[in-house]
Structure 1
């Protein structure tokens, strides 16, 4: 927006910082990490869950999909509900629901019980997630403190995918798959206590909840997410897949019409009026869309081709997680100096290069020479390309829209990860079938499918490069 700056406070809110800011930051960052971890933490435990509870081969996918479906479908509603009902209140309620659901899931004795617990976890995450980001933006009103806090939040959000694989491997190898869920109980309890004692409740903005927008928006996102999840397992020609995708598009079109005509919308379309903010939203979709391919396929590559165990698989991702988190620590210094365009552009190029290098893998590729360079490039690229996006968005929205903006960001992230994985799994399946038909060995079939999926992932990352070019260049007069 003309005259706006990245570091300027969004509106006239109190300029005093929160009481015990370190504990406030600890509570909010821990909440974000717990929510993001549950997207990937159960990946390496899936074989043991299947054997213990008797899941079918296709039913096992719902251990992951049920959480993503509810989380992604209800994020916008959770964001606006926090704006209207109180973000601290919704954060505490959401973490409580998530914690109780984790406890129930840890005691699950049937597939249905575990999937129901994962659905409840998704509900709790959708309640707490947007309020976590909004509270961070409104609690730290000093511009530089806010930028540091948001940069750390971005690092936690991005590194959480890799850390989830590491934590899942450790817990599954040393204890059992149930510990992956039980670990959330003490963590969730700690977050609730810290939030009750130290997290400030910003002023609420009384308004009517946009129920029609909530219904059409949440149902539309849920339908799209379900359609793409089903496409990965049943193919694009499946009737229910096509019906879900069409329904999702129609519902989201209806949602946009409702939001344009509603005085107090669930999703204020003015959030997209600023060019930098709109580009940040789009790349928050594309980054996870491309990056999830690395986690999903390399987990299988390490275990099925090279025989890694759950713990070794998790540790293999540690260098990438360390580079990613370290990079985000410098965002508070780099972003004011260079602005978002050079960081987003450089990061997107590094991401696409890292994924493209993976397309050269074969069954004999060593970890140090074949995988590690790509992981390091991805860690650095994601840190530069994705970590600043939270800062770009959350430092430029008014406090009244902070929850909605946080909901949009996290919706983009979840939808991107789910959509990207569905597309890349479809590419993987088609390529694998062709390799099998040509008489390739099982390991070669697996690698052929993965390398073609990595090519598709690199193309998605290249699209993020094009979007990064649309960021405004920093002018000399800009304080950022």
Structure 2
């Protein structure tokens, strides 16, 4: 392991730089959609595939990416994933047509699915003790949370002042530097012996893809469309087959015992729920900023700066708060604060103002998110052996990915069902009150599943 404090901090900074790049990739492109449509001639229907192509590949391959890191070494998996992501970013940035851009987005998702579990696994493996691990997880969650607003600001600025293409091309120099640095700074991790569980991998890939696509379809079409229902049925059948395979093969993609500890189950459920409410809130409030308050994408990004600053600031104190108050207490308080924040959002209307009506709920929401994400990650990864760090990280991230898809699809559906013509804010009350109910339910699940002092989950 790195011998000096400066060496370890530099290695952690490199790893977290990649996480920031991956975290902001979704929204840095979202704010450029209108310019991409004009430049490349996308149809309105095909434009949605720019974010969706990434989401499907990323969600579908996370479990496989996590296990590959355990088998070939986390640094090697990290570098392979980063290389694919950077090359795909280059291809997307110079794309001459819609089809090339969409294919590039697919490969960005592939690269992210390989690199992302290794980012989290390396943070836990490189830590010399619980304090360093909790500090690393806090920074990881802070970076992941602020990636949205950073992506909005940077994407808006690049699109406004240079070109939408630089929202993809910026990944190339940053990725190249981190790719070169990681080999010098981080030693390779131990490897798990065994064969790749191809049958489990295929059912996991297609099952995850079907599930994510089901929620995409629900948001775009309806919950009762044949495409949505068919996707969910396929996901259930494929995951059922996946768990049957994993219970029988000698070298499973996912050892089912990893999912057995009750605190870990609760942590995964709560993380999925709160991440879902967080992503859905970001999505709807972004639309509110633009549609009602009249902010352009760049100003909308700056309007999220209080969220960024609050999450990052609070997260710095979370490791010490975990020691003093315990994981469960922080998660319960965080869920309640998230609920309070979205209740504040439910009161927004056409006459609301940013400073008078939006800012305080944003801060409440931000504090709540900071108090849930790091303790939630700690409880999920508690007791995981180094040889299972990659797959455990993949499970955590796929729960967040699916939670985000569910949250956006569910809240958009509730919002749309209560929307009145020519009144954007009319559907916000019902959508955010539903989000508050889910956040309170997450607090109850925390109380039931997570002990005051978590035992080692083996």
TM class, shorter-length: over 0.9
Q: Is the 8 A contact 2:246 2:254 kept in 1?
A: yes
Gaps of 5+ in 2: none
Partner of residue 95 from structure 1, selected from 82, 92, 105: 82
Gaps of 5+ in 1: 1-13, 437-441
Alignment of 1:197-236 (within 5 A): 197-236=184-223
Partner of residue 169 from structure 1, selected from 141, 152, 156: 156
Judged with a 3 Å threshold, the aligned counterparts in structure 2 of structure 1 residues 15 and 276 are, in CA distance, closer, same or farther, namely: farther
Judged with a 3 Å threshold, the aligned counterparts in structure 2 of structure 1 residues 196 and 475 are, in CA distance, closer, same or farther, namely: closer
Runs of 4+ aligned structure 1 residues displaced above 4 Å come to 14-19, 475-478
Q: Is the aligned partner of 1:188 residue 2:166?
A: no
Partner of residue 449 from structure 1, selected from 410, 416, 427: 427
Q: Is the 8 A contact 2:265 2:449 kept in 1?
A: no
Aligned match of 2:286:
299
Aligned match of 1:10:
none
CA-based RMSD of the aligned residues comes to 1.9
Deviations 1:11-57 (A, max 9, x none): xxx89779810121011111111111112222222222222222222
CA shift for structure 1 position 162: 2.7
Q: Is the 8 A contact 1:23 1:194 kept in 2?
A: no
Partner of residue 52 from structure 1, selected from 18, 39, 52: 39
Aligned match of 1:420:
407
Judged with a 3 Å threshold, the aligned counterparts in structure 2 of structure 1 residues 198 and 15 are, in CA distance, closer, same or farther, namely: closer
CA shift for structure 1 position 258: 1.5
Equivalenced residues, count: 456
Q: Is the 8 A contact 1:18 1:139 kept in 2?
A: no
Q: Is the aligned partner of 1:332 residue 2:310?
A: no
Judged with a 3 Å threshold, the aligned counterparts in structure 2 of structure 1 residues 44 and 477 are, in CA distance, closer, same or farther, namely: closer
Deviations 1:138-172 (A, max 9, x none): 11222222221121112112222232222222222
Q: Give the distance between the partners of 2:26 and 2:448, measured in 1 at CA.
A: 30
Which has the higher mean CA deviation after the structures are superposed, 96-105 or 143-152?
143-152
Partner of residue 266 from structure 1, selected from 253, 259, 272: 253
Which has the higher mean CA deviation after the structures are superposed, 252-261 or 346-355?
252-261
SS in 2 for 1:41: helix
Q: Is the 8 A contact 1:170 1:314 kept in 2?
A: no
SS in 2 for 1:40: helix
Deviations 1:197-234 (A, max 9, x none): 11111111111111111111111010010111012111
Partner of residue 94 from structure 2, selected from 107, 115, 118: 107
Q: Give the distance between the partners of 2:429 and 2:40, measured in 1 at CA.
A: 33
Aligned match of 2:57:
70
CA shift for structure 1 position 174: 2.4
Deviations 1:375-429 (A, max 9, x none): 1011100000112222223342011110000001111111111121111222222
Deviations 1:50-96 (A, max 9, x none): 22222222221111111111101100000001101111111001101
